[in-house]
Amino acid sequence: MKLLTKQNIVFFCIIAFVFAVSVVSWFIIRNIKIENPVVEIYKNGELTHKIELTSDKLDFTIIDDNSNVIFVGHKVGVIHADCPDKICVNTGFIDSGVFPIICLPNRLEIRITDGENELRLDAVAR
């Protein structure tokens, strides 16, 4: 039951290297900024809302079927959810980064893009 054999030291070095790479790439990804951000809200894989974040004084909330309350202003975020883990609420508000807000149980995704995707549903966007 030896922990520090030659093989294990190699393994621990690989683990340390992968850890360092992922931490560095995490910080690089975090600093990516999107110009002219557009919020895209996906529900069950369908794009339901598309809102420009640059518009002035745009404060409103969207309530979806699973009572995910989404607030859109200069930032977008989920302020209430009925899912058990509340990850989407705890993610907080996003405005120009590449990290989407995700609610796994309710299949909700809020993405910041530069507005390339077309709205497929006749949902009210503004």
Partner 1 sequence: MKTNTKKLTLTALFAVVALIIFIVEAQIPLPVHIPGLKLGLANIITLFMLFLGGFWKVRDVLLVLLVRILLAALIAGNPVGLLYSFTGGILSLLVMFAMKAAFKGAAIPVISVAGAVAHNIGQIAAVMLVWQSASVLVYLPALIAGGIISGLLTGFAVYFLFKTHPKFIGFLGGKNDIR
Where does this chain touch partner 1 (CB under 8 A) — which range of 23-31, 56-64, 73-81, 118-126?
Answer: 23-31
Q: Which of 19, 58, 63, 120 binds partner 1 (CB under 8 A)?
A: 19
- Residue 38 lies near partner 1 (rule: CB under 8 A): no
Binding mask 61-100 for partner 1 (x = CB under 8 A): ----------------------xxx-xx-xxx-----xxx
How many residues form the binding site for partner 1 (CB under 8 A)? Answer: 38
- Pairing type for strands 76-80 and 69-72 reads antiparallel
Task: Specify whether the CB–CB gap between 99 and 66 falls below 8 A.
Answer: no
Determine if 124 is a binding residue for partner 1 (CB under 8 A): no
34 binds partner 1 per the rule CB under 8 A: no
The values of phi and psi at residue 21, to 5°, are -60, -45
Query: In the numeric block, which tokens belong to residue 52?
Result: 């420009």
Least separation in angstroms between residue 87's CB and partner 1 is 5
Residue numbers of the site for partner 1 (CB under 8 A)? 1-3, 5, 7-8, 11-12, 15, 18-19, 21-23, 25-26, 29, 42, 45, 83-85, 87-88, 90-92, 98-100, 102-107, 109, 111
